Amino acid sequence: MASTRGAAEKAQVLVASNRGPVSHHVGEDGSLHVRRGGGGLVSGLSAIGPDADSVWVCAALGDGDREAVRRAAGGLLPAADTGGQRVRMLDIDATVHAEAYNGIANSVLWFVHHMLYQTPLEPVFDAGFRRQWASYEAYNQAFAEALAQEAAEGAAVLIQDYHLALAPRMLRRLRPDLRIGHFSHTPWAPPDYFRLLPDDIATELLTGILGADRAAFLTQRWADAFKDCCHRVLGPGIPSGTRIGVHGLGADADFLRKRAHEPDVAERMAALREEIGTAPDGTARRTIVRVDRTELSKNIVRGLLAYEQLLEDRPEWREKVVHLAFAYPSRQDLAVYREYTAEVQRVADEINERYGTPGWTPVVLHVKDDFARSLAAYRLADVALVNPIRDGMNLVAKEVPVVSDEGCALVLSREAGAYEELGEDAYAVNPYDIGGTARALHEALGMPAEERAERSKRLAAAATALPPARWFLDQLEALTGQPS
Ligand code: G6P
């Protein structure tokens, strides 16, 4: 598979992230088929135009087999399928990748920033952890070297997320001429929690990111937490060479509204309506919708328990409401995720057994990832339930009000980044408070239609204030000092 430009040509804009911008499958003849993925970064990078000299450096594509991609594409993917830019997938040893990604990034850093450790899931910093840490360093070094190789003199490099906290400093050493940005898509832990990490590791993570010219976050709250950690762990705090920025990513209204009105979405709406059914008195059933990766931070089980409590405490809603809960498996290499996935299923089944009737399934749980069906549920939503324990932003909270046909009420965790922008028109919940969440669901379901439509309009306006392309260009501009 040929790239549209020569391998020797250097890039002016580089993006680095664990997962690249495409998903793929390998055909029976060994040929590689790639499909452009979604998300803010992908739309953002396309916004700089197909002629821009850009490259995306990654270590994985979709959930597929990294080895097969390397064999089929030689590590370089055709620009045509990826929004116009080259994609370079790094040849990182499978064990190093697994230890860096599953071991450190997803089992340690994700848990620290989302404050997910609790008995019996405790931090373990033993010899095994140190081995994984060495892999995390090697993984970051591989990115730094590839970026140093691909970047033109003075190029802008945008490094993404907790997988790559060390890469900015490593790259700075190799290429002091570059403008380096780091962006955290997660929350940042407050100092008391961050300091669960061994001191040397905490220092390496912070100084790694401080190797960038700019470290940016989704909300002021996460940026402040990062600054607090720097002060507490490093003493002098943020060096004068590093600026801290905040860019809140919004929903892509144009894309979502168009996509939500395509025929496959209409088909899925019809199928969902069948599953929802009609109340015994002939009225339409209300819907509470949630769409998440099956992820501990998303707090799906407590969401289900809150719904159960609603049915228990407010029998008037029985037979009149259906909870559409879409929980798409994620990170299934990790036992704790597999167990959580099973628990979600078990709790949903229990609620259905306890309250269901021949004509009413209280929880409709779907676990097979299907974007068209998610959009169909968004369109049918009366209430959106978004109750994460902590979340960098949470785009579902922003997307449902944009897409819902009749306007929806939003029950939103105050610990989601989106709360800073949407809090005024949402029902705020403490994600641990099951009773409080049940009460919020009751109020949201009972909101008069007119008020709901008005609030939903305001939510949609706030949710789309910073579309992905602008979000990306603002970062680039802030890094280079040039309007893009
Ligand atoms: C979410 C988070 C990102 C993170 C990504 C990784 O989207 O918001 O911060 O990079 O998950 O997920 P993955 O499935 O690639 O581990």
pLDDT in tens, 389-412: 999 999 999 999 999 999 999 999
Residues 377 and 245 in one domain: no
Per residue in 454-475, pLDDT tens? 999 999 999 999 999 899 999 9
Contact 128, 138 (CB under 8 A): no
Cβ neighbours of residue 427 closer than 8 Å, sequence gap 6 or more: 409, 410, 411, 412, 440, 443, 444
Are 410 and 444 in contact by the 8 Å Cβ rule? The answer is yes
Indicate whether residue 161 lines ligand 1 (CB < 6 A).
Answer: yes
pLDDT at site 83: 58
The Cα–Cα gap between 370 and 339 comes to: 22
Q: Is residue 359 domain-shared with residue 404, that is, in the same domain?
A: yes
In the predicted model, what is the mean pLDDT of residues 244-264? 95
- As a whole number, the mean pLDDT across the chain is 91
Beta bridge partners of 288: 323, 383
State in Å: Cα 159 to ligand 1 middle.
Answer: 14
132 in contact with ligand 1, CB cutoff 6 A: no
The CA distance from 19 to 62, in Å, is: 7
CA of 200 relative to ligand 1 center, distance in Å: 25
If you measure from the C-alpha of residue 388 to the centroid of ligand 1, how many angstroms do you get, rounded to a whole number?
14
Lowest mean pLDDT among 36-50, 121-135, 145-159, 220-234: 36-50
The verdict on residue 2 lying in a domain is: no
Q: Is 185 in the pocket of ligand 1 (CB under 6 A)?
A: yes
* Nearest CA residue ID for atom 16, ligand 1: 331
Q: Is the pLDDT of residue 274 over 70?
A: yes
Is the same domain home to 121 and 224? yes
Q: How many domains does the chain have?
A: 2
State in Å: Cα 170 to ligand 1 middle.
Answer: 23
Give the CATH number of the domain where residue 475 resides.
3.40.50.2000
Residues 152 and 181 placed together within one structural domain of the fold: yes
Residue 369 sits in which domain range? 253-463
The beta-strand segments (E) located in 37-130 are: 54-60, 76-77, 86-89
Do 430 and 296 fall within a single domain?
yes
Nearest C-alpha to atom 6 of ligand 1 is from which residue? 19
- Residue 112 Cα to ligand 1 midpoint, Å, equals 14
Kindly state the average pLDDT of the residues 178-202. 97
Does the pLDDT of residue 480 top 70, yes or no? Answer: yes
Q: Is the minimum distance from the CB of 21 to ligand 1 under 6 angstroms?
A: no
Q: Are residues 236 and 289 in the same domain?
A: no
Task: Assess whether the C-beta atom of 292 lies below 6 angstroms from ligand 1.
Answer: no
| Same domain membership, residue 151 and residue 121 | yes
For 314-361, the pLDDT digits (tens) are 999 999 999 999 999 999 999 999 999 999 999 999 999 999 999 999
> Are residues 227 and 335 located together in one domain of the fold?
no
Cβ of 392 closer than 6 Å to ligand 1, yes or no, is yes
Output the pLDDT for position 45.
74
Closest by alpha carbon to 324, among 399, 377, 266? 377
Do residues 20 and 96 share a domain? yes
- Span 23-35, average pLDDT: 73
Of 458, 470, 353, the residue nearest 410 (C-alpha): 458
Alpha helices for 394-466 (secondary structure H): 396-403, 419-422, 434-445, 449-463
Rg (CA), the chain: 23
State how far the Cα of 51 lies from the Cα of 48, in Å rounded to an integer.
8
Q: Look at residue 413 and tell me if it is in a domain.
A: yes
Q: 8 C-alpha to center of ligand 1: Å?
A: 31
Q: Decide if 199 contacts 170 (C-beta within 8 A).
A: no
The total number of residues written for the chain in this structure: 484
On the question of pLDDT at 4 being above 60, the answer is no
298 and 187 in a common domain = no
Atom of ligand 1 nearest to the CA of 185: 9
Measured from the CB, is residue 186 less than 6 Å from ligand 1? Answer: yes
Sheet arrangement for strand 243-246: 76-77, 86-89, 54-60, 11-19, 151-160, 179-184, 214-217, 243-246
Spell 373-396 as b/e; 16+ CB within 10 A means b: bbbbbbbbbbbbbbbbbbbbbbbb
1 domain-assigned: no
**Which DSSP helix (H) or strand (E) runs through 138?**
helix 127-150
The pLDDT assigned to 5 comes to: 46
Task: Give the pLDDT confidence score for residue 85 in this predicted structure.
Answer: 66
The percent of residues in the chain predicted with pLDDT above 70, rounded, is: 91
User: Does 369 lie in the same domain as 444?
Assistant: yes
